Structure 1
Amino acid sequence: MDIAALNDFIVEAKANTYVGGGGPVPACRPGSHDIGCQRGPWRYLDSYFGGADFAGQEVVWLDSKPVWAMNYFGRIVEHSLIDGERAGVVIKAALSKMYAEYRRFLGGMEFEHAFGLYADESVGDCSHFSGREVIVVNERRAYELDYRGGLIHP
């Protein structure tokens, strides 16, 4: 597995789906919201449930074989500080910068926005990782998301 090629495709896919406003694809499970993309032998699907509080999974296939996955759970911690719409605006702006400028999808960055401070920290690399993103408003954690994932081996 070419990890650099996988990382590049993940960044491209994420930039073109949730962050880039990519259109939905048919739901693969009842009640799920699914967005995805494909380039050559690579295919990506992000499938999640919920809205302001949500859970989901992203999967990458290479030549129709699942090779990578990430699970996540996010929630608004303090509804008096931020709502789902504003959190989404902050997250999209921060991730857009991460994908375009740093060409990576794992944390290690902070991003100031009018609606709050976005911070993402992770350990590991594309092959095995875990992390957390938060939005801080008025020095209080208003939103959090935990994620983990890596390569899938048969």
Structure 2
Amino acid sequence: MYLTLLNDFIVEAKSRTYVGGGSPRPSCRPGSHDIGYERGEWRYLDSYFGGTDFCGQETVWLNGEPIWAMNYFGHIIEPGLIDGSRAGAVIKAALSSMYSEKKRFLGGMEFDHAFGFYIDNSEGDCAHFRGMEMIIVEERRAYELDYRGGLIRL
């Protein structure tokens, strides 16, 4: 039950922040880009550095206690095939579909877009996971992102 509530909140928060075009928040660390969401006792923050090549962490708090986190690193591998703007369009469309249709945030997803073919594979569940998303353009991996995370035990 707890993991279901957590998963549902993560999907809701992700769909209302990066994918949903949420408003930026003040940086919590020098140079970071932050975007967050809150509902009741739940709080979510995505804080990252960079642009085309980037690194970040998402965290969920329940009643003020950190309970879940995910870190990630993504980058353009083939700048001649895709740029940050096009990669972002593919990712937002694919993740929007995953969140709204599948009601989950972890992989097992393929999505065809005009700018490239999106693939997301992962192992595990909300409690402990790792995965990779990529965009294929002209049968070549043009972008990739590694991620991992899970429950935080205090």
Unmatched 5+ residue regions in structure 1? none
1:145 maps to 145
CA shift for structure 1 position 18: 0.0
Write out aligned runs for 1:88-107 (5 A).
Answer: 88-107=88-107
Write out aligned runs for 1:61-100 (5 A).
Answer: 61-100=61-100
- One-letter code of the match for 1:40? G
2:3 maps to 3
Write out aligned runs for 1:113-124 (5 A).
Answer: 113-124=113-124
Query: What value does the CA root-mean-square deviation take over the aligned residues?
Result: 0.6
- One-letter code of the match for 1:94? A
CA shift for structure 1 position 66: 0.1
Distance in 1 (alpha carbons) for counterparts of 2:25 and 2:79 = 30
Q: SS of the residue aligned with 1:30?
A: coil
Moved over 3 A (4+): none
Distance in 2 (alpha carbons) for counterparts of 1:48 and 1:85 = 17
Kindly tell me the number of residue pairs found equivalent between the two proteins: 154
Cα displacement string for residues 2-34 of structure 1 (whole angstroms, at most 9, x for unaligned residues): 100000000000000000000001110000000
Distance in 2 (alpha carbons) for counterparts of 1:150 and 1:141 = 27
Identity of aligned residues (%): 73
Distance in 1 (alpha carbons) for counterparts of 2:78 and 2:137 = 9
1:16 maps to 16
2:41 maps to 41
Q: SS of the residue aligned with 1:93?
A: helix
Unmatched 5+ residue regions in structure 2? none
